[in-house]
Amino acid sequence: MTKDLQLVSPFPREHHVTLWAWMREFPSSNLDDYGPKNAEELGKSLTTKQQAGEKVYLVVYRGRPVGAIGYARVSTTEGVFRGVCFAKEVHGSGVAFEAVRMVLVRAFRDGVGIVLAYAFADNIRIRKFLRKFGAIRKLAPGLPSSMRGGKVVQTAVYGIRANDFLRAMQRLEVRGGSSIESEAIRGAA
């Protein structure tokens, strides 16, 4: 599947509206009371993030835009996902899995030892999804909560260590160049 997927960055402006539509498919997974309220605000926030050095990828599958992944390296040892959202039509197809796997391979090759992801604690999809990459969920007390629809919503943080990622990929027997990638990651782990 890797050859059918492209990670395009910077995120093309003409797809701000597309991403906003994907985020609106599951608003309670993607939006709190403080974030963007429309495609224009989303676009401004993406521009600011990218100017600050964050990677925002448009994921294109067989020529069609299907999702977005935000990623930032925050220190020599740590990277953070800054939002992962795919069109409902590709959920469960393995496309999101493969695209996120590609970003993780890049991150670990780049030398980080752990990639974190923050999400609403009640987002079961992302919890199950990240576990496939070897993520460990940490429910740190004192982790900032947010407001969603005027109500407090807890945040969960997930951590994917290079070693755990490698083991998870070996378990799933991901193929298609993964042995080369595994070697590169092993160096960083």
Ligand X SMILES: CC(C)(COP(=O)(O)OP(=O)(O)OC[C@H]1O[C@@H](n2cnc3c(N)ncnc32)[C@H](O)[C@@H]1OP(=O)(O)O)[C@@H](O)C(=O)NCCC(=O)NCCS
Q: Give CA–CA dist 16/42, Å, rounded.
A: 7
Contact by Cβ (8 Å): 162, 108: yes
Nearer CB in complex with ligand X: 130/162:
130
Cβ nearer to ligand X, comparing 6 with 118: 118
Cβ closer to ligand X: 94 or 111? 94
Output the smallest distance, CB 85 to ligand X, in A. 4
CB of 53 to ligand X, least distance (A): 19
Our CB check for ligand X shows the closer of 43 and 70 to be 70
Omega cis (within 30) before 65: no
Residue with token string 């469960």 = 92
> Three-state SS string across 84-149, please?
EEECHHHCCCCHHHHHHHHHHHHHHHCCCCEEEEEEECCCHHHHHHHHCCCCEEECCCCCCCEEEC
Contact set with ligand X (CB under 6 A): 26, 29-30, 83-86, 91-92, 96-97, 119, 123-126, 128-129
Least distance between ligand X and beta carbon 108 (Å):
19
Nearer to ligand X, 125 or 186 (CB): 125
Other CB atoms within 10 A of residue 41 CB: 13
Shortest distance in whole angstroms from residue 26 CB to ligand X: 5
| Nearest-approach distance from CB 5 to ligand X, in angstroms | 13
